[in-house]
Amino acid sequence: MFDIGFQELLIIGVVSLLVIGPERLPAAIRTGVGWLNRIKRSFNDIKREVQQELHNDSVLE
DSSP labels, 17-45: HHHH-TTTHHHHHHHHHHHHHHHHHHHHH
Residue of 9 and 61 predicted with greater confidence: 9
Residue in 11, 37, 38, 16 with CA at minimum distance from that of residue 27: 16
pLDDT band at 54, cuts 50/70/90?
A: confident
| Per-residue model confidence (pLDDT) at position 60 | 63
Averaged confidence pLDDT in the chain: 90
Question: What pTM was computed for the model?
Answer: 0.65
| Per-residue model confidence (pLDDT) at position 58 | 74
Asked whether residue 45 carries a pLDDT value surpassing 90, the answer given is yes
